[in-house]
Structure 1
């Protein structure tokens, strides 16, 4: 009964994950990887089209993501190298951070649920919906803020929704 079942691997050191709490997700081939990434970036675009329609946002590489536990021990260089490397000055002299985003599978990183309130809402019965007309959930998310301004967005995904996307491929 001491056989290894090899279900879960560990992150190779060459990927240099910043966090011990970010899982490594792997797919069988490049087509599945591309489908998963296309799905994630498409959903992120929809999310930001609703939340920040006129703002440019950039993804942060998955291995560079951190969780709330990492804040207790992360070196401050992390923030300068990953979130503030592209600061710009506005005409009024204030610094402006470029907003970044990354995915998370950790619900604790995404405590906010982006819902939909019908334009016909009359103010009496709460009719907030947390699923779209096609049944997909509106996004849970969380932020890293500086002076009350979000500089980074965690966008929550479930492994199931990514698997559902992969299963739609013709050779799956």
Structure 2
């Protein structure tokens, strides 16, 4: 199966209409604050429809990793460089590590001990709390 046609059957994304930009700004701010603690200042958010779950690691074509995760791998001064990717998720099964500084669960996908993908858990309650606080 080509990853270009792949869409997860297990990912629930956050699509909104009226409050979309407010929600996106809120999430992006929290992601940025979270990643700074791990010395990650440059990253890309992976769209929900392009994310995979632990179930799909066993079945997705390996080209997915080339096309969505390591496509921007480069070498400079004999060092490999890749931009960190981030998946915002509502699935706690994907996030088993607790960060007490942010009060948030997360997990990483690492290559050679280097975290290249962060799965960061958000809850719908916190999203709605943020939306409703200004109403």
Which structure has the highest helix share of the two? Answer: 2
In structure 1, the gaps of 5 or more residues are: 1-15, 117-136
Superposed, 1:71-110 pairs within 5 Å as: 71-92=57-78, 94-110=79-95
Q: Which has the higher contact order (CA 8 A, sep 6+)?
A: 2
2:14 to 18, 22, 25: 25
Aligned to 2:55: 69
Query: Where in structure 2 are there 5+ consecutive unaligned residues?
Result: none
TM-score by length of 1: 0.70
Structure 2 length as normaliser, TM-score? 0.87
2: CA distance, partners of 1:17 / 1:141: 24
Question: Separation in 1 of the partners of 2:22 and 2:133?
Answer: 9
Shift of 1:52: 1.6
The secondary structure found in structure 2 opposite 1:51 is coil
Q: How many residues align?
A: 131
Is the 2:10–2:53 contact (alpha carbons within 8 Å) kept by the matching residues of 1?
yes
CA RMSD of aligned residues (A): 1.8
User: Counterpart of 1:140 in 2: which secondary structure?
Assistant: strand
Larger radius of gyration: 1
